[in-house]
Structure 1
């Protein structure tokens, strides 16, 4: 599918159309840009222009200084735009009928904002649309800016944008940061997310999992004695009823 349709007049618009196709194809992919001179297969009917204009995400109407007044080939006394069979006019009509986004792109400083009274009624509404402007002297910068605006506005183009930052995702959710604890003193609790834990210089037993922690020997059952280390005071142990000795409280 071609996401971007370039609408232009052969007389006066061919050069800028090819520059647009080159820049936008490099950014969004060759198959994403429809340019009549290169995108129509040999022997294909010309009504492919209208079908593609309807199915595209955006139609860029390239408007130079002579766009409004170019004479009709068959009847030079009238404007080409006044001919219902004019392809530039028909492509814009097809895009408008299908709900395709239409963006007037003024080429050069001499192009003034469109006057709906000077346009055929079927396309007069584009005079009220927000337009872009490019200049031949700064065409690369202007087309890069146009590509930025299209990528922000149209998700289909954003997904194809070769200028996206590496690792960018459509979810907008930041990736969980890794946690490193170097020379950590005290406890660590409630660490969530994608975590890498590094613990250095431990001087006691370390328990980092679930369940109880047991440091040293463990004994179960009745009557078990365990003595470790030096014993200097003796060990006494009694069972049953204890008989008080003198001086002790009963």
Structure 2
């Protein structure tokens, strides 16, 4: 069901409403944003769908452009559209207020002044006291991000669907280890979510042979040259009695 209802007046802030709706749809999902021109399907009764869309939503953004207050009523050019009880911008906002939904005025342009209760129809006077947001095309990125952040705070459960956003790391298995090593990139190893025992070893810039892991080890013995050197490896049960420079060997030496 839609979570964010975009309220706007055709001919006043309409393009801004389209941009805001598309940004929110990109961030939270198209099915969670209601904008009349895209959300009402051919063959559907728009009065019913508009009010149902408000009731199903969790917040309403009222996009307010420079002519929002003074737009003439199509039925009476001498009066304002907002003063007409059948004006859909007015009806949607009042429906949201009656259902207790948060209504956020979004002022279009840096010169758009805050609403004045004295200039609003009495049923809409409350809008003048609601903290508003601003959307200025000259700083669109930051303003759209701000609008999205506010909506996310107002509507719990919304998930940021943009790439790399709002996707938590998977839970670690019991006994697993997560770590990150940073540096200049020479000889660094980054590992995360290692489950169970660590059975492999990574060695960078090894000088000479290295043996790792379980089982028999193949030892490369050092090369020994010259007289007077004894090298022992493995178990030694009988001891060692080296003799150097004792002359020619005798038969006893071979026993």
Q: Is the 8 A contact 2:160 2:166 kept in 1?
A: no
The 1:175–1:146 alpha-carbon spacing in structure 2 relative to 1, beyond 3 Å, is farther
Q: Is residue 134 of structure 1 aligned with residue 108 of structure 2?
A: no
1:19 shift after superposition: 0.9
The equivalent of 2:124 in structure 1 is: 123
Q: CA deviation at 1:163?
A: 6.0
Task: Give, in angstroms, the shift of residue 195 of structure 1.
Answer: 6.7
Unaligned runs of 5+ in 2: 180-194, 202-210, 212-236, 238-255
Once superposed, what is the RMSD of the aligned Cα atoms? 3.3
Unaligned runs of 5+ in 1: 181-193, 202-229, 231-250
Contact 1:23 1:140 in 2 (8 A): no
Segments ≥4 residues shifted beyond 4 Å? 173-177, 194-201
Partner of 1:67, secondary structure, is coil
Structure 2 residue aligned with 1:242: none
Q: 2: CA distance between counterparts of 1:115 and 1:131?
A: 12
Give the superposition deviation at 1:97: 0.6
Partner of 1:178: 177
- Relative to the length of structure 2, the TM-score reads 0.65
Partner of 2:115: 114
1:14 aligns with 2:14: yes
Residues 166, 37 of structure 1: CA spacing in aligned structure 2 closer, same or farther, 3 A cutoff? closer
Give a deviation string over 1:140-186, Cα, whole Å, max 9, x none.
331122112221332132x35436646427xxx99876179xxxxxx
| Residue number in structure 2 paired with 1:53 | 54
Asked if 1 retains the 8 angstrom alpha-carbon contact of 2:5 and 2:54, the reply is: yes
Normalised to the residue count of structure 1, the TM-score between the two structures is 0.66
**How many residues get paired?**
195
Distance across 1 between alignment mates of 2:178 and 2:156: 34
Aligned equivalent of 2:103: 102
1:143-154 to 2 correspondences below 5 Å: 143-154=144-155
| CA distance in structure 2 between the aligned counterparts of 1:179 and 1:144, rounded to whole angstroms | 32
Deviations 1:63-117 (A, max 9, x none): 0111111110111111100000000000000111111111000000121111112
